[in-house]
Amino acid sequence: MASTTPPILAIHGGSSSIKFALFEASEVPGRSVGGTVERRGLWQATLEINGPHLADHVVRPVKAPDHAAAVNILIDEIQQRRGDDVLVAVGHRAVQGGPNYSAPPLITDALVEDVRRLFSFDPEHPPEEVWLIEAVRRWFHGLPQIACFDTGFPDDLPRVAPRPAIPPRYKKRSVRRYGFHGLSYDVLMGELADTVGAEAAQGRINLAHPGNGASLAAVHHGPSIDASMGFTPTCGVLMATRSGDIDHGSIGYLAQARKTGARQRNTMTTPPAGLRGVSQTRADLCDLPAAETGAVRAAKVIVLFCHRISQWTGAFAAALGGLDTVVLAGATGESAPAIRQRICDGLGFPGVELDPQRDAHDASLISTAAGRVQTRVIHTDEEIVIAKSAARLLHLHHGTPAHEYQHG
């Protein structure tokens, strides 16, 4: 049976998966169904659907050779479940907004061309985002699409934080620290305010998103004052397939020794670097603890990862003048107690003290009652931020004619 209210489709595209969710087109969007196309090999994928009823849970293999095919699979699934072929808008997560975009804009031809110019900033994400946008355009002619840039949250960094120590002339080429994971941090700050109150959420807060793409942000009085990721998402802490911070001299040295060009140099800090490169086994932090007893490299990479997260948290504690709250989120932060424990073991000096029982049961508050710093686990939901942005931008709660956006 068709729904009388066409939904917002939120698409969260990544290099190895595409998450999606349908939301009611209202001022406070409610999720109806969501899912993931997860790549296994060359887009030999698994489609997972989750909804409010047991019958809505589906996991099955699908063939998705590229992002456009993955979108086709998602829209086919949506149509079968809803019994109609209308959407009111599509919102996309876009990683790099460059210097020109912070607030979510409507996607136009000019914006798509701007994103294409960012390919040189980040060769990994913007091309995929354009493919997804174009795939939706082929399905729905005239459908409003909105871009929600991950660089939006840290866009108000203090002047000292984003500035690299290079000659000012490079500022004209937009070389600066951008910070990323902004959609996730928006969610975390909103949930934190709802949990502890708006006043407490104005304190000295370290937001940590330890996952396959890992980053941290320091927040005080609301806005971000610093971020671990920089000009690209490769900067900062060690990640699944990214090296994190590395001495640029070593890249030049290795490039010269191997006689590689600029494009090949990227492979020293991106796939197959990071957790996968060090462990030589796997990149998923949720899997590594089970492998460490039989694999020395897996054990070493866990130690290295937790050290880097603790190191950045300590640096941000100095920048903030202390810590009131640490928030852990992302796939690892939300569901890997052993990793959380190891991260926090190195943070006793600013007052972080975990309760092992709370941590083992994935409690929302995992610090001890005596700890000076509240340590919390908060589920992040970037799709809801995308849906809310689309609703605000299009004023969907006032009613938008659905028939204008029929599948063409």
Homologous superfamily (CATH) for 182-377: ATPase, nucleotide binding domain (3.30.420.40)
Residue 71 near residue 139, CB atoms below 8 Å? yes
* The pLDDT value given to residue 218: 95
Question: Distance (Å, rounded) from C-alpha 386 to C-alpha 148?
Answer: 6
Give the tokens for residue 80.
Answer: 């079968």
* The pLDDT value given to residue 1: 38
* The pLDDT value given to residue 406: 44
Helix ranges (DSSP H) in 140-213: 182-196
List, as one string, the DSSP characters of 56-110.
G-EEEEEE-SSHHHHHHHHHHHHHHHHSS-B-SEEEEEES--TTT--S--B--HH
Question: Distance (Å, rounded) from C-alpha 333 to C-alpha 335?
Answer: 6
* Amino acid code (one letter) for 156: D
User: Coil, strand, or helix at residue 158?
Assistant: coil
Q: Residue 284 phi/psi, 5° resolution?
A: -85, 120
Give the contacts of 371 (CB within 8 A, at least 6 positions apart).
351, 352, 353, 354
Give the tokens for residue 344.
Answer: 């926090």
CA distances, 273 to each of 203, 286, 300, 357 (Å): 36, 18, 15, 35
Buried/exposed 295-323: b ≥16 CB within 10 Å, e otherwise: beebbebbeebbebbbbbbbebbebbeeb
Which entry of 56, 66, 84, 150 is annotated as an active-site residue?
A: 150
Question: Distance (Å, rounded) from C-alpha 405 to C-alpha 408?
Answer: 8
Q: Residue 276 phi/psi, 5° resolution?
A: -65, -40
Pick out the chain residues at pLDDT < 50: 1-3, 396-398, 400-408
Class of domain 8-152+382-405 as given by CATH = alpha beta
User: Coil, strand, or helix at residue 124?
Assistant: coil
Q: Residue 245 catalytic?
A: no
Domains 8-152+382-405 and 182-377 share a fold: yes
Within 10 angstroms of residue 388's Cβ, the number of other Cβ atoms is 23
CA distances, 382 to each of 220, 341, 394 (Å): 22, 25, 19
* The pLDDT value given to residue 404: 43
Question: Distance (Å, rounded) from C-alpha 98 to C-alpha 287?
Answer: 34
| 286 half-sphere exposure, CB direction, 13 A CA radius | 10
CA distances, 166 to each of 162, 169, 330 (Å): 12, 8, 33
Give the contacts of 298 (CB within 8 A, at least 6 positions apart).
279, 281, 282, 288, 291, 292
pLDDT digits (tens, 9 = 90+) for 13-60: 876 678 888 898 877 788 887 888 876 555 555 667 776 665 567 777
The domain limits of the chain are 8-152+382-405, 182-377
Q: Is the peptide bond preceding residue 272 cis, with omega within 30 degrees of 0?
A: yes
The Cα diameter of the chain in Å comes to: 64
